Structure 1
Amino acid sequence: MKHLAFLLLLCLALPALAQDAVYKEQKNVAYRTGQQTDYMKERCVLDVYYPEKAKGLPVIVWFHGGGITGGNKSIPEELKKQNVIVMAANYRLSPKVSCPAYIEDAAAAVAWAFQHAAEYGGDTAQIYVAGHSAGGYLTSMIGLDKQWLAKYNIDANRIAALFPFSTQAITHFTVRKEKGIPEKQPTIDAFAPLYHVRADAPPLYLYTGNRDMEMLGRYEENAYLARMMQLVGHKQTYLYELDGYGHGDMPKPSFYLMLKEIKKKK
């Protein structure tokens, strides 16, 4: 019984020990190499948040939102001191660039994570990709359309799971705007995650706010993506509608759900 009591105390202490670990942050690490424009040097950077003496930890590559026209990288507070490594990436924005430049940047950031995760104590078998809104769109595109990571000789199926928060499943409205298509004209082309549904994709966790509080039918887009993934034979697509939350505040509960899934897989 004494041994059992000790083990119980140890188990209770483990979360506290993880939270007490010393965390570091390395800022503005360039994730692209070779010839670059000044704008690429400015935007193609990421921050790495990691615990000291980490080994074999999950890695979350996080893409911010902002409609592909704004926004900046930051380490989400909900992901701090969670015994995971977080890589928060910037990417180039429209109208300074046009599609597919920002998708290429997202793929380059994820490729960098695969290439360098071990240097920070990360496990390349546990690399997760996530993002909110525009960041969710980039997450979905590089996870479902294998061509983007293939340029770095990385199979997108190596991603442990995809966590798009309130993603666009049709072609993103900024991509449509660049092509002169109205914001409320639904389009599914090669730049729509829906176009790339496939049975062998990584596990896909789709989180949205309440359908009546979300923007521009975002829940319904995700519901259609989930249905089509299931119809093509994907066995690990999960759709969550978060009652009481709209587009802007739905990330908070989504972080909790994502961490719960990641910690189940460890």
Structure 2
Amino acid sequence: MATWIKLSLAAVTVLAFAGGLAACAPVKVINALTPSSSYVKTADIAYGPDARNMLDIYAPAHLQGKAPVVVFIYGGTWNSGDRAEYLFVGAALASRGIVAVLADYRLFPQVRYPGFLQDSAQAVAWTASHIAEYGGDPAHLFVMGHSAGAYNAAMLALDPRWLQGAGSSPAILRGWIGLAGPYDFIPIENPDVRPAFFFPDTPRDSQPINHVSAAAPPTLLIASIKDKLVDPVRNTDGLAAKLKAAGVPVTVLHFDNTSHVSLIASMAWPLRGLAPTLDTVAGFILSDGGRKPAPSAP
């Protein structure tokens, strides 16, 4: 009976997530099912002057020495989202011995490009300066994003303007991770995205694919074959090809059983059977971006 209930909850949650992560009920279900024993949460830390410049830290409950760190940036077409909705991501990463930082950032219509990049860069720079106080190792710092958040992560890793503007540099990153990210989307087709990027006058330097160089950190790109919102061939495969041509270490994976939204949901219990997203992400981080052998998943 317990197994049947677990499978039923998973099925219901997957169906709910098919309607979009912005729907509040599915997120509440997933977060309610997320065990709290794996992490210690420090909430509502200001990293900048705006009311949206806030972050939460999820540290492993049983730290042994300094842990690797990842700043996670959520999606939402740059006009919606809240870090509290992604508790399951912070908990999942902490359960694998990783300190996770989840940051809010300003959204449209409060800002347009590049305001949200400036905020994300500030959050990463703050993390590099302060995360040792929370058990994290700033020498092993990664940035990760899903959807629009993967765009933000890509721009921080590939375009030095943003971290330099925050008093830092992409050189502080040991790697970056993009889940279902848009990296090459001019002309913009999504009407919800257009205002944030000054459509039809979208700057060409707003596209991550135009900032690839040999200086980019090791990269993990994951996409869903069934993604109907962000074309994985043009975006994930296109960026991967350009990074590989520049000599950047890149790992690319395509999952069969996830959609654009359920890809990030597959990091949560009880949805990990959809795809090995957590195992792959944790392995990349714990192997220092592929520089050393990855430990076995628990």
Q: TM-score, normalised by structure 1?
A: 0.81
Q: Percent identity?
A: 29
CA distance in 2 between partners of 1:80 and 1:52 (Å): 8
2:55 corresponds in structure 1 to 46
Kindly indicate whether the alpha-carbon contact (under 8 Å) linking 2:228 and 2:260 is maintained by their aligned counterparts in 1: yes
2:41 corresponds in structure 1 to 25
Match for residue 258 of structure 2 among 235, 238, 245: 245
1:181 corresponds in structure 2 to 200
Task: Give the deviation of 1:46 after TM superposition.
Answer: 0.3
2:12 corresponds in structure 1 to none
Deviation track 1:215-242 (CA, whole Å, cap 9, x = no partner) reads 24234211111111122232x0121111
1:61 corresponds in structure 2 to 71
Kindly indicate whether the alpha-carbon contact (under 8 Å) linking 2:60 and 2:94 is maintained by their aligned counterparts in 1: no
1:127-138 alignment, distance < 5 Å = 127-138=141-152
Paired letter, 1:50: A
1:231-242 alignment, distance < 5 Å = 231-234=245-248, 236-242=249-255
CA distance in 1 between partners of 2:155 and 2:230 (Å): 19
Q: Any unmatched runs of 5+ in structure 2?
A: 1-34, 267-275, 293-298
CA distance in 2 between partners of 1:255 and 1:223 (Å): 21
Mapped pair 1:204 → 2:214: no
Kindly indicate whether the alpha-carbon contact (under 8 Å) linking 1:171 and 1:188 is maintained by their aligned counterparts in 2: no
CA distance in 2 between partners of 1:70 and 1:219 (Å): 26
Kindly indicate whether the alpha-carbon contact (under 8 Å) linking 1:219 and 1:241 is maintained by their aligned counterparts in 2: no
Match for residue 260 of structure 1 among 264, 283, 286: 283
Paired letter, 1:191: S
CA distance in 1 between partners of 2:277 and 2:37 (Å): 24
Paired letter, 1:153: G
Kindly indicate whether the alpha-carbon contact (under 8 Å) linking 1:171 and 1:191 is maintained by their aligned counterparts in 2: no
Task: Give the deviation of 1:135 after TM superposition.
Answer: 0.8
**Secondary structure, in 3 states, of the residue corresponding to 1:190?**
helix
Report which stretch shifted further, 58-67 or 214-223.
Answer: 214-223
Mark the CA change 1:56 to 1:70 in structure 2 (over 3 Å): closer, same or farther.
Answer: same
Deviation track 1:179-219 (CA, whole Å, cap 9, x = no partner) reads 2339xxxx771111001001121101111001x43424234
Q: TM-score, normalised by structure 2?
A: 0.72
2:28 corresponds in structure 1 to none
Mark the CA change 1:78 to 1:24 in structure 2 (over 3 Å): closer, same or farther.
Answer: closer
Aligned residues: 235
1:93-242 alignment, distance < 5 Å = 93-171=107-185, 173=188, 176-178=194-196, 179-181=198-200, 189-210=204-225, 212-234=226-248, 236-242=249-255
Task: Give the deviation of 1:171 after TM superposition.
Answer: 4.5
Kindly indicate whether the alpha-carbon contact (under 8 Å) linking 2:57 and 2:100 is maintained by their aligned counterparts in 1: yes
Kindly indicate whether the alpha-carbon contact (under 8 Å) linking 2:82 and 2:104 is maintained by their aligned counterparts in 1: yes
Please, what is the CA RMSD of the aligned residues?
A: 2.4
Mark the CA change 1:59 to 1:216 in structure 2 (over 3 Å): closer, same or farther.
Answer: closer
**Secondary structure, in 3 states, of the residue corresponding to 1:46?**
strand
Higher relative contact order (CA 8 A, sep 6+): 2
